[in-house]
Amino acid sequence: MTGRGRSTSPRRQPGHSRQASNDDNISDTRQIEAFGRTVQATASQLIFPGNDQHGTDPYKSALTSVQRQLRRPLIQRSVFSFTQQSPRELLRGKFSTSEVEHRALSYIPQELIRTAPAGQSPFSLFEGFKASLPDTEDDGRGGRRKRHGRNGSKLLEGPQEHKGPPQLVKMKRERDKLDHRLEMMGIRKTMCASEIREIDTKIANMNTMRRVVLERLAGLEQEEHDMEVEIGDLAERVAEMQEMLEDEEALAKQSPSLIAEGEAERRAADKKLETEEDDEEAEADMDASFMSESIYGKLPKAQESPRSKAKRRMPKRTISMPVLHEHMEPGTKIRELQAHNDVITAMDFDAPFGTLVTAALDDTVRVWDLNAGRCMGMLEGHLSSVRCLQVEENLVATGSMDASIRLWDLGQADYNPAQAAASNNITDKSSEAEDAEADKGSDAALFTPAASVADLASQPPPQGDAMADCHLFTLSAHVAEITALNFRGNTLVSGSADKTLRQWDLEKGRCIQTLDVLWAAAQAQTTTVNTSAAATPASESGGWWKSGAGRLRGSAEAAEQAEADFVGAVQVFDAALACGTADGMVRLWDLRSGQVHRSLVGHTGPVTSLQFDDVFLVTGSRDRSIRIWDLRTGTIHDAFAYDQPISSMQFDARRIVAAAGEDVVKVYDKADGRQWDCGAGVLAATAETTSRPSVVERVRIKDGYLVEGRRDGVVGVWSC
C-alpha cells in the first residue's frame, strides 16, 4: 500500500514538485519521520491483529488512516522530495561518510548564491579552458611537429612533383591553426586582466583592514603606556610603605618609648595617605608629620630617608615595547615638535616613543616625552651651548662649549604627566585643527596632537623645577669646548677642541686617561712606510688643522656655524675606541695601551659622525661622502656620495640615515640597497609649497624610529 501511495502522487501533480523542493529541506526529515511512524503503526496493526479494538477491520482502518496521512500537504511534499532526490542519492547522502564529508566541504550557503553579481568579463571560464587546452595539445605536438615537419618535408619532397594542392592545403590548415591559437591568446589575456582586477579589489579591502587593525594597535599602545605609569606609581608607593615599616622596626629596636610616638604619627600618616590624591603638597605634609626633628635625628638610615621624598619616577618601558612605528608605511610622519628657536646642535633619544633630549644654540637643553609630544623640562647648568649629548636609558651626558661634561639622571625628574596635560589642554584644540590640515596621512589621527609653535609661546614653562634634581656630577678637565662624547657602561670618552681625548670612569667621576691625538698622529706618521705622509710630518700635523679651518673660513657658506671640530665623533666599546678627526682620518685606539692600533685613511674632509658595530664602521664627513669600513680587514667596504657635507649619521639594524645638508633625511636601506629620502622635504617637494622646511642638521634612528633636528629648531619624528 505504501507503494500504491507513492505511485499515484507524481503522476497526479508533476507541477508541484518544482515549487515544493525549494524549501522542504528542513521539513523533509520531520515529515518523513512522521510518515515512517504511521507506516510502522499500520504494519504493527497488520501483524498483530489481536491488539486491535475494532476487531473486524483493522486492515481497512489502517489503510484509511494512511490515506488520510498521505493527503496532508506536508507529507505530499516530503514524498515529492523523494522524487527530487532519487533514492540512490538519498542513501548515499545519509550513509556514506565520504559522501557526507564531500557535501559538507563543498556546501555553499544560499546567501552567497543569491547575491552572485553579474559577471563583467566577456569570456567565461569555460572559454578560457578551451583556449588553454588546445595549447597543451599543441605544445605536446609542437616539439614533435618539427620532427614531423622534417620527416613530412622529406615525405612531401618525394611526391612534391605530382601533389601540389595537398601541400597548399596543409599550409592553409597550419595558418588557420595559428590564427586560432592567436585568438585563444587574446582570450587568455582578457582572462588574466580580469583576474588582476579582482586581485586589486581584494588588495584594497586588505588595506582597509590593515588600517583598522593599526588603529587598534595604536590604542592598545596608549593604554599600555598609561598602565605602565600607574604601575610605576604603585611600585613607588609600595617601596615607600616598606621603608616606613623598616624605619619603624629600627626605631623599635632603639627605644621603646619612641614607638608610641612613631605609631601615632604613622597612623596619622596612613590616614593622610588614604585620603590624599596624587598631590605633592600632601606628601610634603606627610614628611613633616612623620619625621619630626627628634625622630629624624635618631633614625639609623638618616642619610637615605631624605631621598625617599616622594618622587614621581618617570615611567620607563621595561615590559612593553612600542612597535607601532614598525607597522607604519616608511616615511610617515609621526610627530613634529618646535623644540627650540635656534639651530639644533645635539640630539639623542633612548627608545622609540621614549625620551628625547635636544640642545640648541640658544644654550638650552630640553627633555621631551616622545609618546605624548610634550616638553618635560630643561636641564640647566651649562654655561654655554651643548655641542654633543647622549641618552642611554635614564642617563644623559652632555658636553658643552664651556669645556665641561655633565651627567644627568632622568629618573630623578619630577615629571607629572597629569599636570602637564592640564596645562596643555588649552592649546590642544588649536593645535588639533592645525594638525588636521597639515597632516596628510591618516596616521595623524592616531596620535595626540603635537605641540606647535603657538604652544611653545603660550604654555607656561613646563615645571621649571622638574629636572632640578637630575644633575649627578660634572666632569671638567678639558680646557676647550667638548665636541664629541660617547659612553657605554661606566666608561665615557670625550673629544675636545684642545686636541685630546679623555677617558672617564662614571662611577667615580674621574678622568682615567688622556689621549693626545696629535702625538698619536705624529707617531703613526713616522712609523708608517707611507712616503707622502712621512715627507713633512711636522708641517703636516701642524698644517692640517690650520688648513682645515682655513678651508672653512674661506668657504662662502657663512650659514655653517659649526666649524670643523678637531674631534668630530667618538665611539667607545669596552676597550676599543674609534675617533674621527678633522684631518679625515679615523683612528682606532686600544684604551688599555692608549695607542692607535689602526688608522683608516680615505676621507678627504673632516669626519663629523661615526658609528661601529661588530662588523662595520660607518663614517660621515664634510667631504660629502659616507664610507663603510670593514673592521676585520680595515679596508673600505662601500661608499656613498651626496651633494652636501654630511653633518650627522647613524645606523640601526636595517638602515643608515644621514643628514646631508638638505631638508630631507637620506636613508640607505641595507637590505635592498635602496637610497631614498625621508622627511618633511619630501612632502614639500611634491606639494610645491613656497615655505620649504629647513635643512636637517642632526639625525638619530633606532629600530625604524627616526628623529631629525633641523636648523630652525624643529624636531621631526618619522617612521623609517
Report which of 243, 226, 250, 263 is spatially closest to residue 305, judged by C-alpha positions. Answer: 243
Minimum CB distance to other proteins smaller for 135 or for 638 = 135
Minimum CB distance to other proteins smaller for 184 or for 361 = 184
Taking the complex as a whole, the smallest distance from the CB of residue 340 to other proteins amounts, in Å, to 52
The stretch among 123-131, 393-401, 571-579, 630-638 that binds other proteins (CB under 8 A) is 123-131
Q: DSSP label at 460? A: P
Minimum CB distance to other proteins smaller for 17 or for 167 = 17
Taking the complex as a whole, the smallest distance from the CB of residue 20 to other proteins amounts, in Å, to 12
Minimum CB distance to other proteins smaller for 196 or for 319 = 196
Minimum CB distance to other proteins smaller for 10 or for 232 = 10
Instruction: Rule CB under 8 A: choose which of 15, 26, 51, 107 binds other proteins.
Output: 107
C-alpha 466/C-alpha 171 separation (Å) is: 94
Residues 184-203 touching other proteins, rule: CB under 8 A, are: 188, 191-192, 194-195, 198
C-alpha 581/C-alpha 596 separation (Å) is: 13
Taking the complex as a whole, the smallest distance from the CB of residue 125 to other proteins amounts, in Å, to 4
Contacts 24+ apart (CB under 8 A), 709-713: 709/339, 709/344, 709/347, 709/358, 710/344, 710/663, 711/343, 711/344, 711/559, 712/341, 712/343, 713/338, 713/339, 713/340, 713/341, 713/342, 713/343, 713/344, 713/360, 713/362
Minimum CB distance to other proteins smaller for 14 or for 159 = 14
12 CB neighbour count, 10 Å cutoff:
10
Question: Strand 471-475 relative to strand 374-378: parallel, antiparallel, unpaired?
Answer: unpaired
C-alpha 424/C-alpha 449 separation (Å) is: 10
Instruction: Rule CB under 8 A: choose which of 45, 61, 85, 394 binds other proteins.
Output: 85
Residue 103 in the binding site for other proteins (CB under 8 A):
yes
Alpha-helical runs (H) found in 363-493: 417-438, 453-458
Minimum CB distance to other proteins smaller for 139 or for 277 = 139
Pair 372, 384: CB distance under 8 Å: no
Taking the complex as a whole, the smallest distance from the CB of residue 124 to other proteins amounts, in Å, to 3
- Please report which helix (H) or strand (E) contains residue 154, including its range: helix 125-157
Taking the complex as a whole, the smallest distance from the CB of residue 218 to other proteins amounts, in Å, to 31
Minimum CB distance to other proteins smaller for 198 or for 574 = 198
Residue 689 in the binding site for other proteins (CB under 8 A):
no
Instruction: Rule CB under 8 A: choose which of 87, 256, 554, 673 binds other proteins.
Output: 87
The stretch among 108-116, 243-251, 371-379, 552-560 that binds other proteins (CB under 8 A) is 108-116
The stretch among 105-113, 166-174, 656-664, 697-705 that binds other proteins (CB under 8 A) is 105-113
First to last CA, the chain: 83
Instruction: Rule CB under 8 A: choose which of 34, 46, 217, 533 binds other proteins.
Output: 46
Residue 118 in the binding site for other proteins (CB under 8 A):
yes
As a residue count, the chain comes to: 720
Contacts 24+ apart (CB under 8 A), 127-133: 127/187, 128/187, 128/188, 128/191, 130/184, 131/183, 131/184, 131/185, 131/187, 131/188, 131/191, 132/184, 132/188
Report which of 599, 638, 633, 641 is spatially closest to residue 618, judged by C-alpha positions. Answer: 638
Q: DSSP label at 415? A: -
660 alpha-carbon distance from chain centroid? 25
Taking the complex as a whole, the smallest distance from the CB of residue 179 to other proteins amounts, in Å, to 19
C-alpha 82/C-alpha 76 separation (Å) is: 10
Instruction: Rule CB under 8 A: choose which of 30, 40, 64, 93 binds other proteins.
Output: 93
Taking the complex as a whole, the smallest distance from the CB of residue 396 to other proteins amounts, in Å, to 50
- CB under 8 Å to 475, separation ≥6 — which residues? 404, 405, 406, 407, 492, 494, 504, 509, 511
Measure the CA dihedral 56/59/60/66, to 10°. Answer: 150
Pair 12, 71: CB distance under 8 Å: no
For cell 591559437, what's the residue?
181
The stretch among 29-37, 114-122, 388-396, 601-609 that binds other proteins (CB under 8 A) is 114-122
Minimum CB distance to other proteins smaller for 202 or for 271 = 202
Residue 97 in the binding site for other proteins (CB under 8 A):
no
C-alpha 631/C-alpha 53 separation (Å) is: 109
Q: 3-class DSSP state for residue 14?
A: coil
The stretch among 101-109, 356-364, 437-445, 632-640 that binds other proteins (CB under 8 A) is 101-109
Measure the CA dihedral 329/332/335/341, to 10°. Answer: 150
Residues 13-42 touching other proteins, rule: CB under 8 A, are: 18, 21-22
Instruction: Rule CB under 8 A: choose which of 26, 113, 556, 687 binds other proteins.
Output: 113
Taking the complex as a whole, the smallest distance from the CB of residue 376 to other proteins amounts, in Å, to 50
Taking the complex as a whole, the smallest distance from the CB of residue 182 to other proteins amounts, in Å, to 18
Residues 127-146 touching other proteins, rule: CB under 8 A, are: 127-129, 132-133, 136-137, 140
Count of positions on this chain that bind other proteins (CB under 8 A): 61
Minimum CB distance to other proteins smaller for 123 or for 544 = 123
C-alpha 491/C-alpha 620 separation (Å) is: 24
C-alpha 108/C-alpha 110 separation (Å) is: 6
Taking the complex as a whole, the smallest distance from the CB of residue 134 to other proteins amounts, in Å, to 11
Q: 3-class DSSP state for residue 454?
A: helix
Instruction: Rule CB under 8 A: choose which of 41, 61, 82, 472 binds other proteins.
Output: 82
Pair 649, 659: CB distance under 8 Å: yes
Instruction: Rule CB under 8 A: choose which of 53, 95, 97, 108 binds other proteins.
Output: 108
The stretch among 45-53, 311-319, 432-440, 616-624 that binds other proteins (CB under 8 A) is 45-53
C-alpha 83/C-alpha 334 separation (Å) is: 68
The stretch among 122-130, 169-177, 420-428, 548-556 that binds other proteins (CB under 8 A) is 122-130
Locate the DSSP E strands across 393-535.
Answer: 395-400, 405-409, 471-475, 482-488, 491-496, 500-505, 510-516
Minimum CB distance to other proteins smaller for 7 or for 289 = 7
Residues 550-589 touching other proteins, rule: CB under 8 A, are: none
Minimum CB distance to other proteins smaller for 110 or for 532 = 110
Taking the complex as a whole, the smallest distance from the CB of residue 23 to other proteins amounts, in Å, to 11
C-alpha 186/C-alpha 179 separation (Å) is: 11
Residue 601 in the binding site for other proteins (CB under 8 A):
no
Minimum CB distance to other proteins smaller for 92 or for 598 = 92
Minimum CB distance to other proteins smaller for 181 or for 624 = 181
Residue ranges that bind other proteins, judged by CB under 8 A: 1-4, 6-7, 10, 18, 21-22, 43, 46-47, 49, 81-89, 92-93, 98, 102-103, 105-108, 110, 112-114, 116-129, 132-133, 136-137, 140, 188, 191-192, 194-195, 198
